[in-house]
Every structure is written in C-alpha cells, then in structure tokens.
Amino acid sequence: MDISVTTHSNGITELGVSGRLNMVTAARVRDAIQTAVDDNRGRVAVDLSGVVFLDSSGLGALIAGLKTAREAGGDVRLVRPTEQVELVLDLTNMGSVLKSFDSVESAYPHE
C-alpha cells in the first residue's frame, strides 16, 4: 500500500491511498490522517481510487481518522471510492458518515 500526501493551497490535505487497506495497512492510514490533522485544520480528503480492497480494519482506520478530524473541527471525506469500497461502506451503513465525492474540489466546495 502507498500513501501520498498533497497539501492544497486552501488548506485541504489530500491523501492518495492505493493498494489494500486492511489489517496490515490500517495503522499507517490512521497515522497519516492524524498527521494531516496535526499539521492543518483537519480537513482531509482521502482519494480511494487506487484502493483495490477495503476490509473492516481499514474501515476502522478511516472512522478513527474521522473522529480525530472532527475533534479538530475538520472532517474526513472520501474521493472516488472503488466498487468494492462502496460495497463495504454500503453494507456497514458508514456511507452516510464517511461521504464520497467525485473529486477533492467537490468534497470541499466552499473552501
């Protein structure tokens, strides 16, 4: 799994995650979101277009990140989840909390 970090001029941190987001890699994603929250105001967009697999551990990392970000007044929004990721979000009812968007810009339109 790879994580790329891009800080946009409007203060949004974009995390590009690719590969498997599972028990093995969950901690790294959690840490990456924590770092983004510490460095910025906690507005994080996670680009999931390269994630081939998300399991409940990976989902747990996104939820942990969401909690951290919200405590800092920010949010975690998902960008372009793959079909498998959508399936997991849907069946766990987490899609309503971890919202998905087509792009980083549409995830935070008013920034």
Partner 1 sequence: MSDMVTRTVRLTAPPDTVDTVHDLLDALWPSVPDVSARDRMSLDTAIIELAANVIQHANRGKPITATLTVIAFPDRIEATLSDSGEVGEVDIEGRSMPAADELAESGRGIALMKALVDTVEHRRVDGFNHWTLVREREQVRQPDAPPRHLPSVSISGIIDEMARQRALEEMGILDSPPEDRFDRVTRLAKQLFGVGGAKINLIDGDRQWSKSTAGYGDEVVPRDKAVCAVTIEDDRTFVVQDLLADPLLADRGVPGEVEFYAGHPLQAPGGERIGALCVYDGKPRQFSEREKEMLRDLADWVQQELTASHELSRAAEVQQGLLPQSLISMPDWDIAGMCLPARAVGGDFYDWYPVGEGAAITLADTMGKGIGSAIIAATVRAVLRSAARFGDVAGAVDLAAASLNADLDTTGLFVTLLHGRLDMDSGEFTYVDAGHGLTVVARRDGAIERLRSHTPPLGVDLETEWQSHSVILNPGDVLVTASDGLLDLYDGTLDALDKIGALALLASTSAEVTDAVRARARGVAPDDVTVVVVRRDG
- Give the binding site for partner 1 (CB under 8 A): 20, 22-24, 53, 55-57, 59-61, 63-64, 66-67, 83-84, 87-88, 91-94, 96-97
CA atoms within 13 A on the CB side of 56: 3
**CB of residue 43 to partner 1, shortest distance in Å:** 18
**CB of residue 5 to partner 1, shortest distance in Å:** 22
Which residue type does 33 have? I
Closer residue to partner 1 in complex, CB, 89/104: 89
DSSP string, 20-71: EESTTTHHHHHHHHHHHHHHSSSEEEEEEEEEEEE-HHHHHHHHHHHHHHHH
Closer residue to partner 1 in complex, CB, 59/104: 59
**CB of residue 90 to partner 1, shortest distance in Å:** 9
Closer residue to partner 1 in complex, CB, 4/56: 56
Q: Are 23 and 55 in contact (CB under 8 A)?
A: yes
Strand partners, 19: 51
